[in-house]
Structure 1
Amino acid sequence: MSLYEELNNVRIDVSAYEEEMLTEIERKRWEKRVLRKLPKRRTPSMIKWVGLAGAMVLLASLIIPLSGTALAKMPLVYQLIESFIQVDHPPDLSNYKTTVGETAENAYGRMTLNEVLVDTDRLLISATLEPNKRINRFDLEVLKPTIFINGEEARDPYLTQSIGRENDGAYTITGDVPLNTLPHFPKGDQLQFKISYNSVRKDEKVVIDKPWVFDVRVSTKQMQKDTVTYEINKPLPLKHGGTVTINKVVSSPVSTTLYYDVSQAKIGSFWIRLVSKGGKIKELQFYESKISGERTYHRYGPLDLKKETYWIVAEDKNGKEISPRVPIK
């Protein structure tokens, strides 16, 4: 096992220790220790530069105050948000997501909230759970977060979540939480989130006395800047009767979302499609509502709507178009 692997497995309670800077002697001692641990290479110059780089990284980590957040940011098994947005070639979302690295612990184990990202109307979450012996995969089926935005709860039964077990016994948790149930989505480019995981299953659902709770401030400034909304508000008459109202299309660096109203049409007799010259665009998510005024939506991967022309059209069960095409522009 390497020096870095040893450090990754260390669990330290730093609450009883004071934060102190290393002395010059201690710095030299650590540098020599790191150099001894590094494997020898054929090229002497490479030994020098790699050794010094490793020493600097280690020294920097020792000089930084060992707060709970700093320890949580030590290497840990987790999924990047880019890895679960369901596209073949996910974009780099570094400019849009917030790295958290905050850890909470209770009798069931230690959870780290790794990253969050606010898309146009949803919250994407990446977390890691390091459980103790009291919890297993089945217990986690009801482990779903309660979300508050600026103090208002975002209630939605259609949360999508995936839990995967890693070789070291940890669980990677990824969540896709719709935020469109809020009566009024908060304005501004700074949002305060409270994310709470407060129940597991032990034969039956158990509410945790000390839930995993995270308070996170998220900036949406860059996401808002790079998101384009195409207001359409056009009726789409269907050949067999009924009308679908196309509301808008929202294009972000993470997704493309088509919103429409089906309250004046017979659900189940048609399907709304997004098409281009290359064919039909595959939906990643969809939600249908018969309630007047409540928007149905289809979500797709990120598309460049300025570079290529796309249309919205209705199809019957056989894939035949049964409405005029409405361009997105």
Structure 2
Amino acid sequence: MSIFKELNDIKVDVKAYEEIPLSEVEQKRIIMRTQKKIKSTKAKTFKGKKYFVSAIASISAISLITFNIAFPTFAEKLPTFTNIFEFFTDNERNIFDDFSEHATSIGLTQENNGISITVTDAVYDKENITIAYTIKSEQDLGERPVLLGDIIVDEFGNQYEHSGYSENYLVKKIDTHEYAVLYVYELISGSKPETINISWQGDNVRNLNNGSQLVDGHWDFEFSLQALENSVMNFKSQNIHSLDPGIEISLVKMTQSPISTTIHLAEKVDERLISQEQEELRLVLIEYLVSDDLGNNYNIIHYRDTGHSTDFNPNHISAPRITTNLINNDASFITVTPIVNVYKVSNSKGHLEQIVKPYEIEPILVPLNK
């Protein structure tokens, strides 16, 4: 029987319930859901655009208020948050505009030591495994709590057991003791099969802003993901470079999936030449800006690899990569602009002090297939 038919058969005295005003959090959720519906009906355009129709939002708000009044018990059982990907639109590392359309719904909850963790969705595109989840607790977990533990994938064997991967977390408070988290498990090297069976064995919830604030426990999740289709453009033989005294950055390849674009680079740096220092330890880190020929700027998640130090072999190559939103369909090329940062270690605790003002060097122009 349809849930709507069941609800129609319930006899409810509406006057017996007090109207519950919407909180700011709920209002934001309604707006984000409305934006998503509008967005999905549009042809592909630049992902940074936001659409808003106040009339539809008002109708949604009225419907939600009515639902809470008429069916308070059922409303309490509804998930408190339904689309984590859309919750990070104001984050400078938000690259998740298209993830919800392609993610696998998981819907698994584990509770231990007073902390409830719900994995809502996950997506795998052979570059990253991205897991969306919520953390809910009766205690204060700090500003950036995340679930830490092992990602075990039988299909990977031991390729990612100790290296070859990187982890990124985006965390945002939903309510006083409730958080939304996006966990990006970057697959840097090793095989990337079509189907993966994941066992995520979490053993503590830790505040990333204060490592000593943690709660031990056991939260285990098992689910399978199918890889999204992706295409690879190899540039290694095309000699696309950014050159500057002491620096050579080469474009290696670019992968595109239905949810993101990933640019792979190779960096070779002469730290002594750049810092003009022959004796002391010097370090160089290169950041990047990404834009297209239409003037659109893109958020990125940057895997920096090793960076560069005067302790390294002079021929050391660092292999960073940049993951960003889908590129606008009308763009002809992407511009990747390197920004060079030079540091020294200023005290015994390893604090880094910038010794050269950050500067841009020749951009890399990445052609797009048309």
TM-score (norm 1): 0.63
Question: d(CA) in 2 for partners of 1:131 and 1:264?
Answer: 47
Residue 169 of structure 2 corresponds to residue 160 of structure 1: yes
Question: d(CA) in 1 for partners of 2:320 and 2:202?
Answer: 28
Comparing 82-91 with 145-154, greater Cα deviation is found at 82-91
CA-CA distance at 1:138 after TM superposition: 2.7
Question: d(CA) in 2 for partners of 1:271 and 1:254?
Answer: 23
Partner of 1:281: 297
Partner of 2:251: 246
Q: Deviations over 1:98-157 (max 9, x none)?
A: 11111112222222111112244222222222324xx32239646334322226556556
The residue matched to 2:140 in structure 1 has which SS? coil
Residue 116 of structure 2 corresponds to residue 110 of structure 1: yes
Aligned-residue Cα RMSD (Å) equals 4.3
Asked if structure 2 preserves the Cα contact closer than 8 Å seen for 1:239 and 1:323, the reply is: no
Residue ranges of structure 1 left out of the alignment (5+ in a row)? 1-20, 22-26, 40-49, 63-72
Question: Within 5 A, what are the aligned runs for 1:266-305?
Answer: 266=271, 268=284, 273-279=289-295, 281-288=297-304, 289-290=306-307, 292=316, 295-304=319-328
Asked if structure 1 preserves the Cα contact closer than 8 Å seen for 2:148 and 2:206, the reply is: no
Residue ranges of structure 2 left out of the alignment (5+ in a row)? 17-62, 272-282, 309-315, 341-357
CA-CA distance at 1:37 after TM superposition: 5.6
Partner of 1:219: 226
Amino acid in structure 2 at the alignment position of 1:327: P
Residue 169 of structure 2 corresponds to residue 177 of structure 1: no
The higher-RCO structure (CA 8 Å, 6+ apart) is 2
Amino acid in structure 1 at the alignment position of 2:330: K
CA-CA distance at 1:249 after TM superposition: 1.4
Amino acid in structure 1 at the alignment position of 2:258: P
Q: 1:262 aligns with which of 267, 292, 309?
A: 267
Question: d(CA) in 2 for partners of 1:143 and 1:257?
Answer: 26
Of Structure 1 and Structure 2, the greater strand share is in 2
Question: d(CA) in 1 for partners of 2:320 and 2:117?
Answer: 34
In structure 2, the CA distance between the partners of 1:312 and 1:173, relative to structure 1 (3 Å rule), is closer
Partner of 1:136: 140
Question: d(CA) in 2 for partners of 1:261 and 1:144?
Answer: 30
In the alignment of these two chains, the number of paired residues is: 265
Question: d(CA) in 1 for partners of 2:363 and 2:100?
Answer: 40
CA-CA distance at 1:84 after TM superposition: 2.9
Amino acid in structure 1 at the alignment position of 2:367: P
In structure 2, the CA distance between the partners of 1:139 and 1:265, relative to structure 1 (3 Å rule), is same
In structure 2, the CA distance between the partners of 1:80 and 1:38, relative to structure 1 (3 Å rule), is farther
Task: Point out the structure with max Rg over C-alpha.
Answer: 1
Asked if structure 2 preserves the Cα contact closer than 8 Å seen for 1:81 and 1:124, the reply is: no
Amino acid in structure 1 at the alignment position of 2:141: R
